[in-house]
Amino acid sequence: MNTNQKVALITGITGQDGSYLAELLLEKGYMVHGVKRRASSFNTQRIDHLYVDQHEGHVNFKLHYGDLTDSTNIIRIIQEVQPDEIYNLGAMSHVKVSFDSPEYVANVDGLGTLRILEAVRILGLEKKTRIYQASTSELYGGMTENKNERGFYDEQSPFYPRSPYGVAKIYGFWITKNYREAYKMFACNGILFNHESPRRGETFVTRKITMATAAIAKGKQDCLYLGNLNSQRDWGHAKDYVEAMWRILQQEVAEDYVIATGITTYIRDFVRLSFLEVGITLRFEGENENEVAIIESIDERKYQTATGVLLSSFGEAGGGLSIGKVVVRVDPEYYRPTEVDVLIGDPTKSKTQLGWQPQYDLAGLVKEMVASDLKLF
């Protein structure tokens, strides 16, 4: 065994970010431990490629059953693993769903963070173990008056969460900061703006859009139903964002950082970009719940290259992908009781202090997501 090998523990390893972070840390030579929940069906699709049967002798990656609502098992896992770094990514991460299960989200996303910090303290690992807390741009709540003078949210901007998820995460933010100040622990918040990838959960808006683009283009779906098309998000790529998480824990001093692109885009424009990937230009008409997106034109060559389908044969087969077809409608069912209208982050501190530089732009992200989803159908 290499005694200089760093040991990391990731909660939420089966999620989008957990899977990319595990890949990054393994590449860097870490021993990676992850906490996974027991489920009635397999929930490790995003990390299966990293898993090598322990019986065959590959031991840089190990999963432990656990749950952030259970402090006994959190303490036991941390005691066994003795991690140099903990990345607390585990959470009920869906904003809309948090309105349906507010107590659960408070328990997992709020108290779960406390359980990690307390476990480290109870085990006397305050000097050894560095902790990354997955904080979020949802803390800002999109309050216009709280932006900085340049029109962005930064590390000094006040918080005003607008969902049970945001309220639970604000507890996670402050308890992390408090333990840093009270017990001199190396505990940091990454305030990450939205980040996406082909591994994004299917009910988040970007993935819902790219999957529907692929399904509609291949004649497997008729129409995409969305909620509020007027909100704006600062979207980056999850691969770039897990690199920032790692950098945050490699600094000399524990601090909090905003990770964002500094560019914000309407949901409607993400839809537009997504359909352009399969050669379809959309026109939006109407307002609010009456808004629809209609096919304005189809670039046959681009369509065929992207989908591998001949548009003429597809049309004749009765798929009906033609000019004038409505492919997106609004369903108010997807509206939230309180919405975060506009998010845009200022990554100046992370770029200058962490030397963080994202590799992807929005166009590259959309291209990768649509290409990946086209393979599903």
∠ Cα 284 285 286 (to 5°): 135
Name which of 109 and 277 has its Cβ closer to ligand NDP: 109
Contact of residue 208 among ligand GDR, ligand NDP, none (CB under 5-8 Å per partner type) = ligand GDR
Is 69 noted as a catalytic residue in this protein? no
Of residues 123-162, which lie at the interface with ligand NDP (CB under 6 A)? 134, 136
Q: Which residue lies nearest ligand NDP, judged by its C-beta?
A: 15
Residue 333 class from Cβ within 10 Å (0-12 exposed, 13-18 middle, 19+ buried)?
exposed
- Taking the alpha carbons at both ends of the chain, their separation in whole angstroms is 45
Nearest CA to 350 out of 88, 151, 130, 155 is that of 155
17 and 134 Cβ atoms separated by less than 8 Å: yes
> Taking CB within 5 to 8 Å according to partner kind, which of ligand GDR, ligand NDP, none is near residue 68?
ligand NDP
Q: Which amino acid is at 104?
A: Y
Q: Is 51 labeled as catalytic in the residue annotation?
A: no
Site for ligand GDR in 267-326 (CB under 6 A): 267
Of the listed 20, 165, 257, 303, which one is catalytic?
A: 165
138 is catalytic: yes
18 forms part of the interface with ligand NDP (CB under 6 A): yes
Residue 331's SS3 state is coil
| Of residues 133, 138, 72, 136, the one with CA closest to residue 339 | 138
Lay out the site mask for ligand NDP across 42-71 (x = CB under 6 A, - = otherwise).
-x-----------------------xxx--
Q: Mask: binding to ligand GDR, 170-209, rule CB under 6 A, as x and -? A: -----------------------xx--------xxx--x-
The dihedral sign for the CA sequence 298, 300, 306, 308: positive
Closest CA to 31 of 11, 59, 56: 59
Contact 148, 154 (CB under 8 A): yes
Active site residues: 136, 138, 165
* Residues in contact with ligand GDR by the rule CB under 6 A: 93, 95-96, 136-138, 193-194, 203-205, 208, 226-228, 231, 233, 267, 334, 336, 339
* Residues in contact with ligand NDP by the rule CB under 6 A: 11-12, 14-18, 35, 37, 39, 43, 67-69, 89-93, 108, 134, 136, 192, 194-195, 201
